[in-house]
Structure 1
Amino acid sequence: MKKIITLMLLISVFFLTIALPQASAQLADGSHSIQYQVNKPDSNSASIANDYFVKPAKVTVTNGVATVQITLKNSTWITKFQPLGGATVVNEDKVADTRTVQFTVKDLSKPIVTAMKIDIDDINYHHEYSVALVFNGAASTGGAAKTDGAKASTPAGTESQVPNPQTGDATPYVAIAALVGSAFLLYRKKQQTKMEA
């Protein structure tokens, strides 16, 4: 019985240290096209602001630092777009009412909290709030949008589509089950020892 308990404990430790899902791998240096979703802060739900963003984003990685370019629709309504560290406008199309902004990020696996202000004079709507930009491959609390396989149009050989990596979502449940099983066996063994005494 002692050998079974030891084996169960070893299996539990294995699952907890080896098999738990790991954070998404860092992107390689170069240009990537990545799907993303604009969520309400601390939520898996898309914000209404999600419709104001063109997908996918263009991400250029240099020495592990990602430079993200995203295009905003209804640009004249968005009077403030400010991720941590700020953003710069790299392109503006007044006829299409779009603008492309650029900002740098060290870790795309975490939601990027961004301050926004929407001003629509015609309906007297003036509101400031925060959103969270969640890129594919982000942590499970991020709720990343699924990729549709679309590729941004860029010169051949300079762009790569980053798929939504699969995570071992069932792994924590297996580890928990192993821990519960081990605890039950230890409890049962202890009870049997008490009865025999």
Structure 2
Amino acid sequence: MKTKRTFIMFIAIITFSLFQFVSPNSEAYAATYADGTYDISFEMKEAGSDNTSIADGYFTKPAKLVVKNGANYIQLTTNESDWIKSMSGPMGSATDVSESGNTRTVQFEVGDLSNPVNMKMHVVVPEEIAGMEYDHNHSVRVVFNADNIPAATNESAEESTEAKDEVEQVTAGADDTAEKNPKADDTTEKNPKTGDTTPIGVYVFLLLASIAVLVIYETRFAKN
């Protein structure tokens, strides 16, 4: 009986694992923002508390959120570029967008804006301003309010993909000769779903095979 229970538990684990592979990945359907450029409010907080960081006063508000092909980029403008020597976000160093006098706009890539974004900056304040020379690598948590940013929908993503395909087809058709029959090529390119179902078929087959083995063992144990 112990062997039988162990085998049934083993089959249950396999079945659960198969359904994990077959079921849709929730991360693939995570909410993203529609492509575009938006004003977004923010507050810089201290790295270890919810207190507003002194660095919050070094930046003009609102910031800019640039969404391009599903990637999120934040543009921050500092009015103390002489003091803030460099900045970096969670995905790397910030790049300069524009600079005029003591004002500089930088951009860096971010991910999920529903959580605070970690940011680092190298701050150097002259002695005559701070009373002593301040040279420090400062960390803050930037809290963005993305409530007013429109979310990308599956339909808009599909329309964007279809529009891109149409542009590519027109370009290819202009370059090809009439003998190449571009319509036949388009039919081949627009049929990617056939291969997508293959992994599911494999998992279903394995599941059915496991059930078959379980039935055989059940019958065998019943006779014993």
TM-score, with structure 1 as normaliser: 0.53
Matched residues, percent identical? 41
**What is the match of residue 114 of structure 2?**
109
Q: How big is the shift at 1:64?
A: 2.1
2:134 aligned to which of 108, 125, 148: 125
Per the TM alignment, residue 162 of structure 1 is displaced from its structure 2 partner at its CA by 4.1
Amino acid at match of 2:41: Q
Query: What secondary structure does 2:66 align onto?
Result: strand
Q: C-alpha deviations, 1:153-191, integer Å up to 9, x for none? A: xxxxxxxx649xxxxxxxxxxxxxxxxxxxxxxxxxxxx
Structure 1 residues 34-87: Cα deviation after superposition (integer angstroms, max 9, x where no partner):
000111114322101100011111111123211111101111011121223111
What residue in structure 2 maps to residue 92 of structure 1?
99
Report the 3-state secondary structure (helix = DSSP H, G, I; strand = E; otherwise coil) of the residue aligned with 2:81. coil
Aligned partners of 2:113 and 2:140: how far apart in 1?
15
Q: In the alignment, residue 44 of structure 2 is paired with which amino acid?
A: V
- Corresponding residue number in structure 1 for 2:44: 38
Q: Please state how far the C-alpha of 1:30 moved relative to its aligned partner.
A: 1.2
CA distance in 2, matches of 1:119, 1:113: 20
Q: State the secondary structure of the residue aligned to 1:109.
A: coil
The equivalences for 1:1-197 within 5 A come to: 26-84=32-90, 85-94=92-101, 97-121=102-126, 122=128, 123=131, 124-137=133-146, 162=149
* Preserved CA contact (<8 Å) 1:64 1:106: no
Whose RCO is larger (CA < 8 A, sep 6+)? 1
Q: Give, as a single letter, the amino acid of the residue that structure 1 aligns with 2:96.
A: V
Structure 1 outlier segments of 4+, above 2 Å: 24-27
What is the distance in 2 between the residues matched to 1:25 and 1:66? 12
Q: Which runs of 5+ in 2 are unaligned?
A: 1-29, 151-224
Superposition deviation, residue 104 in structure 1: 1.1
TM-score by length of 2: 0.47
Alpha carbon RMSD of aligned pairs, Å? Answer: 2.2
Higher strand share: 1
* CA deviation after TM superposition for structure 1 residue 114, in Å: 1.3
Aligned length in residues = 116
Query: C-alpha distance in 2, partners of 1:162/1:64?
Result: 13
Secondary structure, in 3 states, of the residue corresponding to 1:55?
coil
Distance 1:46 1:100 in 2: 21
Equivalent-residue separation in structure 2 for 1:126 and 1:60 (angstroms)? 31
What residue ranges of structure 1 are gaps of 5+ in the alignment?
A: 1-23, 139-160, 164-197
Where is the helix percentage greater, Structure 1 or Structure 2? 2
